[in-house]
């Protein structure tokens, strides 16, 4: 019997599709916190380009390195089924160091949990997915242990899926940048009155702005290689938003 | 099956290893939060209960329930739905499912987790992937004709509650007629005409919930999907039948089969 696998490009389309039930619809990619924090709606296009060339590259680099480290992951044996994974731990630490806002880390870990449900259901046989799931379970059992970097964020789970699907690193970067921009664009229509086609243009502009960084981020091989391009204002807005009682979106 | 979702049954027998998950849906303002407060008041002494709210724009429902003083405030959590309350209970249940798992883990063991949908329209129903049973709520002040309009929730939720019956004289609605219309639309499924000030009606709601919980614990309860489709008409040579999906079509026969999966919530 021949097992047919979808083309990696098809998997990228699936992951970029908001209809995939992974919990993403309750998130705004930091847009609601930004608008609540006082950013003018007219600044959204520039803000999207800013994300595509800073924080999105942190996420993309995290996914690329995860995928690279786990691409050769052997089968998980019963003997090591209970412990955390040093490769995943290293990536999670690097990601956390580049994501100073606790609110953003928590939101990303929640998305990671939802993504892990997707990953385990759609790629149950993938060693990379199993390694991340195993690490997640270990982090849940012992949150204060030496490996207490916490559960994997969305970018790490995405990396495992990309390893499972054999997605080229450059496409992992483009997928990450696009998904972030489209999430913000979709949320914008719920938050501000405008022609629904306008933010679609801005998504393409943001992705185009990131293109000059794609190969550099796609070449990341170790946790140290992950870009450290932050966005302090976004971090601050995220913290304030987490304490509000009137929110449409989780973050 | 994802590891984060506890299995429906333990290894030893068919009994569930987690709390019964009960959905409460219905249009805005029909009294869903109030109904949940009533349930908590009637059962908090004998059941360990947690509540998840899905308010559209605020945590108003969660705050209402916390201030009602019927439950430890920490057992009431609000989940954001990105302005799509119907998506959060049907198309992508992730946020609610994770919140239910967290609540059950943080306060283990719980007997009952109630998930309140953000008020939505008549077609919004819970996926059986999220809840084991669901209540659809209408109120007399919304108009006596609403029950006749039907829809998946009115027709096929596990229980239909016609709420605020004490207001009937003030809004000119015949409660008995409204309940009769609802019962006809539901082909005999359970209907409770409720007022939180009418003890007999609260007792009926309580008895229904306990009976569902008992069946759930015995492992014989099967989650039903009210489905997105309204009952519809099949023309045939005998003059046609009104056909309702999502239940056993035992009282009539027609030549084509409808395959429906009624997977239990997990």
Tell me the per-residue pLDDT of A91-125, one tens digit each, with 9 for 90 and over: 999 999 999 999 999 999 999 999 999 999 999 99
pLDDT of residue A72: 76
What would the pLDDT profile of B100-112 be if each residue is shown by its tens digit? 999 999 999 999 9
Q: Which stretch of DSSP H or E encloses residue A163? A: helix A154-165
pLDDT at A1 over 80: no
Q: Is residue B247 part of a domain?
A: no
Report the C-alpha gap between B90 and A119 in whole angstroms: 20
- Average the pLDDT over B169-175 and give the result: 94
Q: Tell me the C-alpha distance between B145 and A226, whole Å.
A: 61
- Residue A86 CA from chain centroid, whole number: 20
Closest-CA distance, B80 to chain A, in angstroms, reads 6
Contact B94 A22 (CB under 8 A): yes
Interface contact flag, A114 B82, Cβ < 8 Å: no
H-helix segments, chain B:
32-43, 60-68, 85-89, 94-106, 146-149, 152-156, 168-171, 175-185, 199-217
User: What is the CB-side half-sphere exposure of residue A137 using CA atoms within 13 A?
Assistant: 17
Q: Decide if B258 is inside a domain.
A: no
B141: contact with A, CB 8 A cutoff: no
For residue A139, being part of any structural domain is answered with yes
Owner of token pair 């209960």? B49
Report yes or no on B241 lying in a domain.
no
Least confident of A7-11, A81-85, A196-200, B23-27: A81-85
The answer, yes or no, to whether residue A78 has pLDDT greater than 50, is no
Chain A residues in contact with B95 (beta carbon < 8 A): 23, 26, 110, 114, 250
| DSSP SS3 for B137 | strand
Q: What are the tokens at B99?
A: 């919140």
Count Cα neighbours of A217 within 13 Å in the Cβ-side half-sphere. 30
Q: Is B106 on the interface with A (CB under 8 A)?
A: no
Note the pLDDT of residue A4.
85
Query: A154-165 vs A102-122: helix axis angle to the nearest 10?
Result: 30
Neighbour tally for A29: CB within 10 Å: 26
Task: Give the tokens for residue A114.
Answer: 């939802």
A137 touches B: beta carbon within 8 Å: yes
User: What pLDDT shows up at residue B237?
Assistant: 43
Q: For residue A238, give the nearest of A75, A7, A31, A81 by alpha carbon.
A: A31
Domain that holds residue A229: 26-238
SS (H, E, C) A31-63: HHHHHHCCCCHHHHHHHHHHHHCCHHHHHHHHH
pLDDT bucket at A77, cuts 50 / 70 / 90: low
Q: For position B147, what pLDDT does the model report?
A: 87
**Per mean pLDDT, which range of A134-148, A163-177, B43-57 is the poorest?**
A134-148
B64: CATH = 3.40.50.300
Sequence-separated (6 or more) residues with CB below 8 Å from residue A100 = A230, A235
| Overall number of domains in chain B | 1
Distance of alpha carbon B156 from the chain centroid = 10
Which range of residues forms the domain containing residue B78?
A: 20-217
Q: Which of B38, B21, B33 is nearest to B110 (CA)?
A: B21
Per-residue pLDDT at A145: 56
A36 contact B CB<8A: no
In a domain, A148, yes or no: yes
Average pLDDT, chain A: 92
* Beta-carbon separation of B79 and A26 below 8 A: yes
Domain tally, chain A:
1
Under the banding of pLDDT at 50, 70 and 90, the label for residue B61 is confident
pLDDT in tens, A182-237: 999 999 999 999 999 999 999 999 999 999 999 999 999 999 999 999 999 999 99
- DSSP for B11-73 reads SSSS-BSSPEEEEEE-STTSSHHHHHHHHHHHHTTTS-EEEEE--SSSSHHHHHHHHHTSS-G
CA distance A122 to A111: 16
What tokens appear for B109 in the block? 């063991």
A96 found inside a domain: yes
In angstroms, what CA-CA distances link A52 with A196, A206, B22, B237? 20, 6, 41, 62
Question: What ipTM does the predicted assembly reach?
Answer: 0.87
- Those residues with Cβ within 8 angstroms of residue B23's Cβ, 6 or more apart along the chain or in another chain: B89, B114, B115, B117, B125, B126, B130, B131, B133, B134, B135
User: How many CA atoms, within 13 angstroms, populate the side-chain half-sphere of residue B64?
Assistant: 17
Q: Is residue B10 part of a domain?
A: no
**A113 part of a folded domain:** yes
Is the residue at B170 inside a domain? yes
Residues in A 98-127 with any Cβ partner in B closer than 8 A: 110, 113-114, 116-117, 120-121
**Looking at residue A76, what is its pLDDT?**
58
Lowest mean pLDDT among A69-83, A88-102, B114-128: A69-83
Token reading at A240:
């304030």
Taking the C-alpha atoms of residue A233 and residue A224, their distance in angstroms, rounded to an integer, is: 24
Task: Give pTM, 2 decimals.
Answer: 0.84
If you ran DSSP here, which 8-state letter would residue B266 be given? -
Note the pLDDT tens digit of each residue in B216-244: 999 999 998 998 654 444 454 445 555 44
Backbone CA torsion sign across B32, B37, B39, B44: positive
- Region B173-198: what's the mean pLDDT? 93
Q: Using the beta-carbon criterion (under 8 Å), do A133 and B87 form an inter-chain contact?
A: no
> Is B175 inside a domain boundary?
yes
Confidence of residue A146 (pLDDT cuts 50, 70, 90): low
What's chain B's average pLDDT? 83
Query: pLDDT exceeding 70 applies to what percent of chain B?
Result: 80
Task: From B124, B114, B48, select the one nearest B84 (Cα to Cα).
Answer: B124
């Amino acid at each position: 019997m021949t097992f047919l696998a979808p083309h990696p490009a098809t998997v990228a389309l699936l992951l970029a599709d908001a209809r995939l039930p992974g919990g993403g619809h309750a998130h705004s990619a930091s847009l609601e916190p930004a608008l609540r924090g006082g950013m003018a709606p007219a600044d959204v296009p520039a803000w999207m380009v800013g994300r595509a060339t800073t924080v999105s590259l942190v996420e993309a680099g995290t996914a690329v390195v995860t995928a690279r480290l786990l691409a050769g992951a052997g089968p998980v044996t019963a003997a090591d089924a209970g412990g955390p994974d040093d490769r995943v731990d290293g990536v999670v630490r690097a990601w956390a160091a580049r994501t100073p806002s606790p609110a953003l880390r928590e939101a990303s870990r929640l998305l990671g949990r939802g993504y892990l449900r997707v990953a385990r259901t759609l790629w149950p046989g993938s060693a990379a997915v199993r390694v991340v799931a195993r690490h997640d379970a270990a982090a849940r059992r012992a949150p204060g242990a030496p490996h207490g970097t916490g559960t994997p964020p969305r970018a790490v789970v995405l990396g495992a899926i990309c390893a499972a699907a054999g997605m080229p690193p450059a496409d992992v970067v483009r997928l990450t940048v696009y998904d972030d921009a489209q999430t913000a664009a979709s949320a914008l229509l719920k938050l501000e009155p405008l022609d629904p086609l306008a933010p679609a243009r801005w998504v393409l502009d943001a992705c185009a702005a990131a293109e000059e960084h794609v190969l550099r981020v796609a070449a990341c091989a170790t946790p140290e290689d992950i870009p450290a391009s932050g966005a302090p204002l976004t971090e601050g807005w995220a913290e304030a938003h987490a304490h509000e009682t009137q929110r449409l979106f989780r973050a | 099956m994802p590891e984060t979702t506890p299995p429906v049954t333990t290894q030893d027998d068919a009994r569930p290893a987690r709390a019964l998950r009960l959905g409460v849906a219905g249009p805005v303002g029909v009294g869903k939060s109030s109904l949940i407060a009533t349930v908590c008041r009637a059962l908090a002494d004998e059941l360990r209960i947690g509540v998840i709210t899905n308010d559209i724009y605020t945590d108003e429902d969660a705050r209402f329930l916390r201030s009602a003083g019927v439950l430890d405030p920490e057992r009431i959590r609000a989940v954001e739905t990105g302005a799509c309350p119907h998506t959060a209970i049907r198309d992508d249940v992730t946020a609610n499912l994770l919140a239910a798992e967290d609540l059950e883990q943080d306060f283990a063991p719980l007997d009952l987790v109630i998930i309140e949908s953000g008020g939505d329209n008549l077609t919004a129903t819970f996926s059986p992937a999220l809840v084991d049973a669901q209540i659809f709520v209408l109120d007399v002040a919304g108009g006596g004709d609403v029950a006749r309009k039907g829809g998946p929730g009115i027709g096929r939720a596990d229980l239909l509650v016609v709420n605020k019956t004490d207001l009937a004289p003030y809004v000119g609605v015949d409660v008995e007629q409204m309940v009769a219309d609802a019962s006809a639309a539901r082909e005999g499924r359970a209907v409770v005409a409720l007022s939180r000030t009418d003890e007999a009606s609260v007792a009926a709601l309580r008895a229904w919930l306990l009976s569902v919980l008992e069946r759930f614990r015995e492992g014989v309860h099967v989650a039903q999907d009210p489905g997105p489709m309204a009952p519809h008409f099949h023309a045939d040579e005998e003059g046609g039948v009104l056909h309702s999906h999502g239940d056993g079509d035992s009282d009539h026969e027609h030549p084509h089969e409808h395959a429906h999966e009624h997977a239990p919530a997990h």
